[in-house]
Amino acid sequence: MGRSLARRAIRSAAVARLEAAGVASPEHDADELLAHVLGTTRGRLALIDELSDEQATAYDALVRRRAAREPLQHLTGTAAFRHVELQVGPGVFVPRPETELLAGWAIEEAARIGEGAVVVDLCTGSGAIARAVADEVPLARVHAVELDEPALVWARRNLDGAGVDLRHGDLATAFDDLLGQVDVVVCNPPYVPLEAWESVAVEARDHDPHLALFSGQDGLDAIRALEVRAAALLKPGGVLGFEHADVQGESAPAVLSASGRWRDVRDHRDLAGRARFTTARLAL
Is 149 buried (19+), middle (13-18) or exposed (0-12) by CB count in 10 A? exposed
CA distances from 142 to 64, 168, 185, 194, 225 (A): 40, 15, 10, 32, 21
Choose among 14, 18, 16: nearest CA to 37: 14
Judge whether 189 is annotated as a binding position: yes
Name the nearest CA neighbour of 63 among 95, 94, 31. Answer: 31
Annotated binding residue 59: no
> Is 190 annotated as a binding-site member?
yes
**Which residues sit in the known binding site for S-adenosyl-L-methionine?**
146, 188
**Which residues sit in the known binding site for substrate?**
188-191
**Which residues sit in the known binding site?**
146, 188-191
